[in-house]
Amino acid sequence: MTWILTRTGRRFDLLMPKASQVSTLDIAQALANICRFNGHTSRHYSVAQHSLLVSSIVPAEHQLAALLHDATEAYVGDMVRPLKALLPDYSEIENGIWLAICERFNLEPELPACIQEADMVALATERRDLMPEHGERWPCLEGVTPVPYRLPEWTSTHACIQYHSKLLDLLQTTHRTRALSTWERVDEHHAGGEAPLCM
């Protein structure tokens, strides 16, 4: 068995992912419930909130890609970097999922440098606000300045709603509404929003 069942009832095949299997609601729901740093934070801080932070740092034309830069984790989880480096098969599977996501949302697979830079700014901010004091330096953060404000404390439900709302807004404003399936638009209309799935 190489597939998982998603929140919206889709069968998502990890080894043969397809753009048609990717759902905005599934991504928002899963990322809002996944905690960064494998849960070793002072409070729950989701991948969804992290992605919103990264998206807020980059220029407008790259905000959609920034918001989705960790979307693969909705299907394979958030693996800590040292472990990911030891598992090349994982990276290959994750890359296949990323290509399906890129096809779904009409994105270029290679992320712009500004997103990688914003990701480091977010990491520096998260270390400052969420991680325990520790003298060991993180070489990847040399010369990186955190954002000047403290990270707000969000519930996973709030993060899910904020993430999905921003995703839909970016899809509309960047003329990528074709990436939204009829099912998702009908669901949004009848449900009166995305909150019922963000649980």
Contact between 65 and 51 under an 8 Å Cβ cutoff? The reply is no
Residue 175 CB-density burial (10 A; 0-12 exposed, 13-18 middle, 19+ buried): exposed
Contact between 125 and 146 under an 8 Å Cβ cutoff? The reply is yes
* CB atoms closer than 10 angstroms to residue 152: 10
pLDDT at position 194, please? 44
Q: What is the mean pLDDT of the chain?
A: 89
pLDDT digits (tens, 9 = 90+) for 24-70: 999 999 999 999 999 999 999 999 999 999 999 999 999 999 999 99
How far apart are the C-alpha atoms of 75 and 31, rounded to whole Å?
Answer: 9
pLDDT digits (tens, 9 = 90+) for 70-112: 999 999 998 877 888 888 889 999 999 999 999 999 999 999 9
pTM of the full predicted structure?
0.87
4's CB contacts (< 8 A; 6+ apart) are 11, 12, 14, 75
Contact between 59 and 117 under an 8 Å Cβ cutoff? The reply is no
